[in-house]
A and B are shown apart, each in its own frame.
Chain A
Amino acid sequence: MFLISMLIWATALLGAVMTVWALAWAVQRGEFRNLRQGAASIFDAGEPIGQQTDFFPGAKR
């Protein structure tokens, strides 16, 4: 039973190890460089910064 309950903790530990590995992988890939540009990556010329994109139906823009 002790070994079985350890299985859950081992799975939890595996999750943490996988997370740390994923973090290292992301750093190596350069995902954390130029973060200012990253924040703006959801905007583009069609839906630029400063433009509201949702309104109540029937409302005037």
Chain B
Amino acid sequence: MMSLPEGPNESKLQQISRIRIDDSSRVPVSLWFASSVFWLLMGSVAALISSVKMHNPDFLGNIEWLTFGRIRPVHLDIVFFGWSSMAAVGCLLWLQARLCHVRLPWPLLLSGLAMVWNVGVCVGVMAVLAGHGSSIEYLEFPAYCAPFFAIPALGVLAANVKMYVTKESQHTYVSQWYLLAATVWLPILYVTAMGCTYFGLVQGVSQAITNWWFGHNALGLWVTPIAVATAYYLIPKVTGKPVHSYHLSLLGFWSLAIFYNWAGTHHLTGGPLPAWTITVGVVGSMMMFIPVITVAINHHMTMRGVFHMLKTSPTLRFTVFGSVMYTVASFQGSLEALRSHQEITHFTQYTIGHAHLGLYGFFSMIMFGAMYYIFPRITNNEWSSARLIKVHFWGSSIGVLAYGIGLCWAGWWQGVMMNDPAIPFLDTVAYIRPYLIMRSVSGTGMTIAHIAFAISVWRILSRHHFVMSGPTLFTTTRPAWREFVNEQEKREQAELEAQS
């Protein structure tokens, strides 16, 4: 008879339950995550080509399918559909299973849906490169790609709801609200926007409204809630400190759920829309200060007194960086919605800087942190190299800060110059060129970081460096526990067979 590691009985049962939940999500979550890392690399290549073309327009200029009008949307779509959404789904599935205290349902189906999603991204990218893109931002993939995303999104929604209705935990933790809402919002947003756009229901101004209602909400109601939910779980979990104010965390979720939906039209300030339509977007953006401030207070105050842990935990390092950037990018985004602000920043590099502070500095950094936490637990393997993790962290954090701050600074002055009729347009182009070169340099830094991360992921998945116990896996997956879990599973299987 195998003996358990020492400790109280309650603790043993909880450890076993945790291991079994992690085991159940191993294949699907690894697949969603590994695919996302592949697309992260592809997205980085497309980003670098687009970036170099901004300061050297002749670069690869004689290759039709690599012209700026194709490779830039390919970068955007790979990053949104390939990297961000696939990382978000992997994170969502694991986190919801953990928080509901249930095993991940339908692992084969969810793995199949990951493959369907991958096919969708492949087909969409090839279509855009071939010149069949729609030129509607975030909806460039042709209509025939829609089922490749809509069906998996519905499948993920079904799995998420199944976990929630069969949950064994008493309480609905704040992260679960965000996760449930995100999976409900995505299919509504995507199907409505694709339907209206591709079946000719909306054209002209209405199409622009549809475009930015989807584009802004896809970020704010799909990927943002999942990243915020992840931070709400990982920061307390890694530090061993409950959330600073649980009341505020709930206020933050419900205010985001009510207000975010209205903010998208601020992208069209100055456009030929009815003024009230823009005003709705501006007011929605201002109201976003409420959820952002609550999240900021909570994440930063939870860290008070435990900042030293940033030295020892890779997960915390990435997640806290992402949380700080959430505050920065969200404050910036709300202010950016104001008409007076847009008079200067619209049609400048400022917007590009802001977008990267948000989707990379905030969202991607939290997803990196989550993967550093989740991969060892679902693969029962330790990360192979602390040095690779540090290269990843410093490359991506310095890269995105240089990128975001540089482009926001340059974009602001670009806007001021463009508003001055005495300054020729070409002077603004000459002014911004050094900053565009700096963008390519910082993008190269981020790409190096992604390569380091991809090597780490490849090693942990391929068991190149197989260590079943170590600093991260100190209790939950050490060999004694694993053997006991296997024993118990065999026993349950035998009981099931005897009953049948």
Contacts and interface: CB of A to CB of B under 8 A. Distances in A.
Question: Do they bind each other?
Answer: yes
Interface of A: 1, 4-5, 7-8, 11-12, 15-16, 18-20, 22-23, 26, 31-32, 35-61
A44 to B, nearest CB: 5
Given A31-B171, A61-B471, 18 more contacts: A5-B209, A8-B206, A19-B258, A22-B257, A23-B254, A38-B172, A42-B242, A45-B10, A46-B12, A52-B313, A53-B238, A54-B314, A54-B472, A55-B474, A56-B313, A56-B386, A58-B471, A60-B471
Say what secondary structure dominates the interface of chain B.
helix
B236 A42 contact: yes
Interface stretch (B65-73, B102-110, B377-385, B418-426): B377-385
Contacts of B313: 52, 54-56
Contact of B254 (A19, A45, A47, A49): A19
Contact of B261 (A15, A31, A35, A55): A15
Interface in B176-221: 177, 181, 184-185, 188, 192, 196, 201-206, 209-210, 213
A45 B14 contact: yes
A52 B14 contact: no
Nearest to B238: A54
Interface string B1-42: 000000110111011001000000000000000000000000
B262 interface: yes
Given A5-B206, A42-B236, A55 B173 contact: no
Interface string B235-253: 0111111110011011000
14 contacts: A7-B201, A8-B213, A12-B213, A19-B258, A36-B246, A37-B171, A38-B172, A39-B242, A41-B169, A42-B237, A46-B476, A54-B315, A54-B472, A61-B471
Contacts of B384: 57
B196 A38 contact: no
A6 B207 CA distance: 12
B372 interface: yes
B472 A45 contact: no
B246 A52 contact: no
Contacts of A22: 181, 257
Interface in B148-174: 169-174
A56 B243 CA distance: 23
Given A4-B201, A57-B386, A19 B192 contact: no
B172 A26 contact: yes
A38 B382 contact: no
B316 interface: yes
B206 A55 contact: no
Interface residues of B, number: 70
Nearest to B172: A31
B500 interface: no
Contact of A46 (B14, B181, B467): B14
Contact of A4 (B196, B254, B471): B196
Given A43-B242, A58-B386, A8 B237 contact: no
B99 interface: yes
A1 B206 contact: yes
B15 A8 contact: no
Contacts of A4: 196, 201-202, 206
Given A35-B250, A46-B11, A55-B471, A41 B386 contact: no
Contact of A48 (B204, B240, B383): B240
Contacts of A46: 7, 11-12, 14-15, 18, 475-476
Contact of A57 (B173, B261, B472): B472
A49 B240 contact: yes
B11 A45 contact: yes
A32 to B, nearest CB: 7
Nearest to B185: A15
A58 B313 CA distance: 11
B171 A41 contact: yes
B355 interface: no
